[in-house]
Amino acid sequence: MSDVCLIGTGMHPWGKWGRPFTEYGTAAARAALADAGADASEVDFVSGAATVRGGYPGFVAGAAFARALGWRGQQVASSYAACASGAQAIAAARARLLAGLSDMALVVGAESAPKGFFAPLGGDRPDDPDWLRFRLLGAANPLYFALAARRRMELHGARPEDFAAVKAKNAAHGAANPMARYRKRTTAGEVLASPVVADPLHLLDVCATSDGGAALVLVREEDARRRGADPVRLAGLSAAVPEYPVAEPEMPYLAGDPPRAEDGDTGGRAPRFREANARAAFEEAGVGPEDLDLAEVYDLSTAMELDWYEEIGLCPRGGAEGLLRDGATRVGGRIPVNPSGGLASFGEAVPAQGIAQVCEVAAQLRGRAEPERRVEGARVGIAVNQGLFGHGSAAVLTR
Amino acid sequence: MSDVCLIGTGMHPWGKWGRPFTEYGTAAARAALADAGADASEVDFVSGAATVRGGYPGFVAGAAFARALGWRGQQVASSYAACASGAQAIAAARARLLAGLSDMALVVGAESAPKGFFAPLGGDRPDDPDWLRFRLLGAANPLYFALAARRRMELHGARPEDFAAVKAKNAAHGAANPMARYRKRTTAGEVLASPVVADPLHLLDVCATSDGGAALVLVREEDARRRGADPVRLAGLSAAVPEYPVAEPEMPYLAGDPPRAEDGDTGGRAPRFREANARAAFEEAGVGPEDLDLAEVYDLSTAMELDWYEEIGLCPRGGAEGLLRDGATRVGGRIPVNPSGGLASFGEAVPAQGIAQVCEVAAQLRGRAEPERRVEGARVGIAVNQGLFGHGSAAVLTR
Amino acid sequence: METAPWIARGADGPHLLGSRCTACGAVSFPPDRAHCRDPHCPGGDPVVAALPRRGRIWSFTDCRYPPPPPYVPPTDPFEPFVLVAVELDGPGPIVLGQAPPGTALSSLRIGAPAELVEGTAAGPEGRRFPVWQWRPLPDGGGDAQTAGGVR
Amino acid sequence: METAPWIARGADGPHLLGSRCTACGAVSFPPDRAHCRDPHCPGGDPVVAALPRRGRIWSFTDCRYPPPPPYVPPTDPFEPFVLVAVELDGPGPIVLGQAPPGTALSSLRIGAPAELVEGTAAGPEGRRFPVWQWRPLPDGGGDAQTAGGVR
Ligand SMILES: [Zn+2]
Ligand SMILES: [Zn+2]
């Protein structure tokens, strides 16, 4: 099977700009087309990552971006999966290209975020777990992150200082990234001195919400070669739901699933969806965690970054703290994680974030990241994230 | 290129049942799997058509259906395009199958609709044309339908009696369809005697909103043959945006685009997106309008059905009234349109409707429609619809 | 939305503000902000531009039932209103607007001239805001039918 | 939502109502309505079932800033509250719940026992409705750590 390649990436800087999401998305799309050396008229598929916070145009983001860029009768799609929206939009584009249904796909995601905690839509919706968790329990996102962080402390000996060290590492990376919203170094001490949001997590442990936009231009590998582009191979991609039962009460659920009676307390547990997606993407790509030169992981909280180390196979369960403390995941270390600065430096722009992760991995594989945060000679990278409702995605890129 | 085939279809009857959308979707999915003779464990891709009216689970409909059916780690997607959501979900499934990324796809769409006019979400959103059209103009959907209907009367001599005759025809078809919500015959006189909603359209000219669910099981053609299934070929599919400029103020816009200066008043006009989608789907399928045995068209209003006759090529511009008056589009006529009963008999269940149209075409091509509304010996059918924002879709199925 | 969007007063009366592209001249309403939407455009900036305040009726209808929120009916009980689509002179875009209260549906004809007037619309909590409306004009005759009939 | 969902009073005190599959025994909270969610299930119906009212603390945290709507803070000014995840005996599902007001974070330990009590939550316009809460119990010692630590 032929592979699909990225030949152009583009971003609108993250921030709180207060403009419609379409402006960020079209700016990113124009940048991606320019980077690809492609004309907009070559695009025959526009794959939008939708946003639920931009009114109706956000729901039909693919069409909204296509219109803003100039309607040309392109095939169009709009995908939504919360934070995994970007990955699903990329997956839609990859499938069309591999199927030969389209020859050049433009993937775009953008968000214009409200301030503060993410909150559900209005109305009374007692069938909606996302509504119930707020109304019944006040369980905003950071509380879910904090439950997992506390659990990690108990099981693996993580300390608040480790969480803070994740932030310090990522902030140092992000300080050199012109696309990041927060471009200053942060010390672990500053994290620990920031107010506690949800014990054990401090304000600086939890990612903010941002405006931003990101876009990719994708073609089949032979077309990338023919064009003389500077391509990055999208070698593996997975956007899967978990396997039942899922023990953890994943956001936004009120409860997890108990184990099957015949499995007993510990038996028959499928890998968590994050591990499963990473495994599936590695398998498609024909590489493994040992081949990775860098990883972009979804650090909704600093503690969650440590979970990811294990879930993508950088170390065994319980090994993340050691990896972090050894400096292995810093730029310059054995396996840099979030050289972009991660969500710690960006703040989350939901449908754009998964695409931005892929932009970052591509920049590193192309040797184009700023020198201070460059992973020299990188040839294999992964980008992983998670949506609400216990589903997520993983993308493996190779050079 | 191999084709993709439907090997199973399933529906939950349309109505106003007042239950969560996931229940309709899973019921339809189970019916489709049973029809396909497939086990749920064979499905490796769940493609959900999203709903914006079901809370957060509606946005991530693919994952919500996968969860309700029992999470198995399947790849998943959620597509949204208003009324064209179902078509985009089918398109996502087809692409994955053709690319060889998945082997069996389950496409599901379902809606639990509020009563009355569709209204936009809450909040103040002056950047959202769907909000603006209500706040500034009170331009609910039927008003857009009525502007087009009045235009049709002016240009092509349509009469309110013609519109009413469309309803009578479709109601007669739907009366024999156990999946339809309205299963009684309606006379043209009853339509004309119903209250005017937006002149020239009466209450019975405009489709209602319903609950319902529809699902498809798709595999590649060689797998369909190997399974000994009763397959229908998904021979062409298009879900495209229009080409600029679009003269008509399509829902929900406040205005259309003027012609390009150099084109003058009449020149350089691209085909409308509905025509363009139908042409693209015909082209992929290698057939033309002259090969059609039946058509399912999106009769949001009775008058709109007449526009579709011309846009899918059943007759030249201005010929629809003649076709209707001749009885050609009745079951038993030369080219039956909406043998299911159409939206007139179903009422619209947004993300399910496009999938239901395909279920109907498949039922006809398989010779399984109820005798009173069966199109005998049908081998080629089309299903067309339109979303908001001027984009839509067309699917050509062959036997 | 407390103030009227996109209405300005010129010497000859009120008109709409749209955008016009500095490169290709493409006109858009409401105004485009960031980029021209014509895909053939060599690349221009949309600048605010006054649109013609007259045009020809492209189609029309009325609304007999109260639209849902965020529409706020200006009267209680609800009074039906007329909605008109006018193709601006030029030809410019076809722009939707309500007709002034009291306009009879029977006074409208496709192809007949209409002009923009300022009216008021209702917002939440009894607030009013200015909005454009299309007032039908006495029929100029001959070519009106043609102009409106082409598109 | 005016009434407490999924709480019932048994002989030994209040407990949650979940669902149990008639075929495979799968337990779900909140209750499944239409179908069992275990993909290996031969096909059973979810019936309402009382869940154990005790379990072990799986994790816990607190909420120092007021959550956004539809949460309604029961006090003004907002008082931080404690959120607990309890793995029900059985083992049953891990279920989230607030701890009763006044519960100190320092009184909680992963693996320690907890039991369900009825509390009240705030709704719009000053309304209150009953809701389940997790009250930590004096630590039973030995195996508690293990039971809570496995998952
Ligand atoms: Zn231009
Ligand atoms: Zn079961």
Summarised one tens digit per residue, pLDDT across range C90-147 is: 999 999 999 999 999 999 999 999 999 999 999 999 999 999 999 999 876 544 444 4
Q: What is the pLDDT of residues A110-158, one digit of tens each?
A: 999 876 555 666 677 888 999 999 999 999 999 999 999 999 999 999 9
Contact (CB<8Å) D94/A150: no
Nearest chain C Cα to A66, which residue? C37
Ramachandran bin of C106, using left for φ above 0, alpha for ψ from -120 to 50, beta for the remaining angles: alpha
E-strand ranges in chain C read 7-10, 13-21, 27-28, 46-50, 54-63, 81-88, 94-98, 113-122, 128-136
Residue D104: which residues within 8 A CB-CB, separation 6 or more?
D82
Which of B47, B305, B281 has the alpha carbon at shortest distance from B162? B305
Neighbours of chain D (3+ CB pairs under 8 A): A, B
Of the pLDDT bands very low, low, confident and very high (cuts 50, 70, 90), residue A55 is confident
Contact (CB<8Å) D36/B27: no
Nearest chain D Cα to A148, which residue? D59
Q: What is the mean pLDDT of each run of 10 residues along chain B (399 residues)?
A: 91 96 97 98 98 91 96 96 95 98 98 71 81 95 97 97 98 98 97 98 96 98 94 97 93 94 55 90 98 98 98 97 98 98 97 98 98 98 89 94
Q: For residues B130 and B135, give the distance between their C-alpha atoms in angstroms, rounded to a whole number.
A: 9
Chain A CB within 8 Å of residue D94 CB: yes
Chain B CB within 8 Å of residue A297 CB: no
Q: For residues A113 and A209, give the distance between their C-alpha atoms in angstroms, rounded to a whole number.
A: 6
State which amino acid sits at residue B156: H
**Predicted local distance difference test score (pLDDT) of residue A269:** 52
Q: For residues A25 and A3, give the distance between their C-alpha atoms in angstroms, rounded to a whole number.
A: 26
Contact (CB<8Å) D35/B26: yes
Please identify which residue in the block is written with the tokens 């980077």: A35
Q: What is the pLDDT of residues C23-76, one digit of tens each?
A: 999 999 999 988 999 999 998 999 999 999 999 999 999 999 999 999 999 999
Cα B191 versus chain centre, distance: 23
How many residues are present in chain C? 151
Contact (CB<8Å) D38/B70: yes
3-state secondary structure B315-348: CCCCCHHHHHHCCCCCCCCCCCECCCCHHHHHCE
- Structure letter (DSSP) for residue B228: T
Contact (CB<8Å) A63/B389: yes
3-state secondary structure of A250: coil
Residue B124: which residues within 8 A CB-CB, separation 6 or more?
B131, C1, C70
Average pLDDT over chain D, rounded to whole?
89
Worst-scoring range by mean pLDDT, A61-65, A373-377, B182-186, C3-7? C3-7
User: For residue A215, which phi and psi values (nearest 5 degrees)?
Assistant: -150, 155
User: For residue C20, which phi and psi values (nearest 5 degrees)?
Assistant: -130, 135
**Predicted local distance difference test score (pLDDT) of residue A1:** 57
Asked whether A169 and A340 are in contact (CB, 8 A), the reply is no
CB pairs under 8 A between B and D: 25
Statement: the pTM of the whole predicted model exceeds 0.90: yes
Task: Tell me which chain C residues have a C-beta less than 8 angstroms from the C-beta of B258.
Answer: 26-27, 88, 90-93
Q: For residues A210 and D35, give the distance between their C-alpha atoms in angstroms, rounded to a whole number.
A: 39
Span A338-346, mean pLDDT?
Answer: 98
Task: Tell me which chain A residues have a C-beta less than 8 angstroms from the C-beta of B389.
Answer: 56-57, 60, 63-64, 67
Residue among B23, B27, B67 whose CB faces D37 most closely: B67
Q: For residues D20 and A3, give the distance between their C-alpha atoms in angstroms, rounded to a whole number.
A: 46
**Predicted local distance difference test score (pLDDT) of residue D151:** 42
Chain B CB within 8 Å of residue A129 CB: yes
Asked whether B234 and B219 are in contact (CB, 8 A), the reply is no
CA distance A97 to chain D (A): 32
Q: For residues A295 and A380, give the distance between their C-alpha atoms in angstroms, rounded to a whole number.
A: 9
Contact (CB<8Å) B244/C38: yes
Of the pLDDT bands very low, low, confident and very high (cuts 50, 70, 90), residue D150 is very low
Average pLDDT over chain A, rounded to whole?
94
Of the pLDDT bands very low, low, confident and very high (cuts 50, 70, 90), residue A394 is very high
Q: For residues A209 and A141, give the distance between their C-alpha atoms in angstroms, rounded to a whole number.
A: 12
At what angle are helices B85-99 and A85-98 packed, to 10 degrees?
60
Ramachandran bin of B28, using left for φ above 0, alpha for ψ from -120 to 50, beta for the remaining angles: alpha
Q: For residues A345 and B282, give the distance between their C-alpha atoms in angstroms, rounded to a whole number.
A: 49
| Cβ-based neighbour number of residue A143 at 10 Å | 26
Contact (CB<8Å) A60/B82: yes
D94, pLDDT greater than 50 = yes
Q: What is the pLDDT of residues A242-300, one digit of tens each?
A: 999 999 999 999 999 999 876 654 444 567 889 999 999 999 999 999 999 999 999 99
CA distance B136 to chain A (A): 16
Task: Tell me which chain C residues have a C-beta less than 8 angstroms from the C-beta of A27.
Answer: 34
Would you state the structure tokens that stand for residue B274, as one six-digit string? Answer: 């509905």
Which of A203, A167, A205, A201 has the alpha carbon at shortest distance from A186? A167
Q: For residues B130 and A320, give the distance between their C-alpha atoms in angstroms, rounded to a whole number.
A: 48
**Predicted local distance difference test score (pLDDT) of residue A390:** 74
Contact (CB<8Å) B258/C72: no
Q: For residues A353 and D46, give the distance between their C-alpha atoms in angstroms, rounded to a whole number.
A: 38
3-state secondary structure of A293: coil
Are 3 or more Cβ–Cβ pairs between D and C shorter than 8 Å? no
Closest ligand to residue D43's CA: 2
Contact (CB<8Å) D39/B40: yes
CA distance A281 to chain C (A): 36
A17, pLDDT greater than 50 = yes
Q: For residues A313 and A297, give the distance between their C-alpha atoms in angstroms, rounded to a whole number.
A: 12
Asked whether A326 and A284 are in contact (CB, 8 A), the reply is no
**Predicted local distance difference test score (pLDDT) of residue B118:** 58
Q: What is the pLDDT of residues B84-142, one digit of tens each?
A: 999 999 999 999 999 999 999 999 999 998 765 556 666 778 889 999 999 999 999 99
Q: Is the dihedral of CA B9, B15, B17, B22 positive or negative?
A: positive
Chain B CB within 8 Å of residue A52 CB: yes
Asked whether B159 and B153 are in contact (CB, 8 A), the reply is yes
Nearest chain D Cα to A199, which residue? D61
State which amino acid sits at residue B20: P
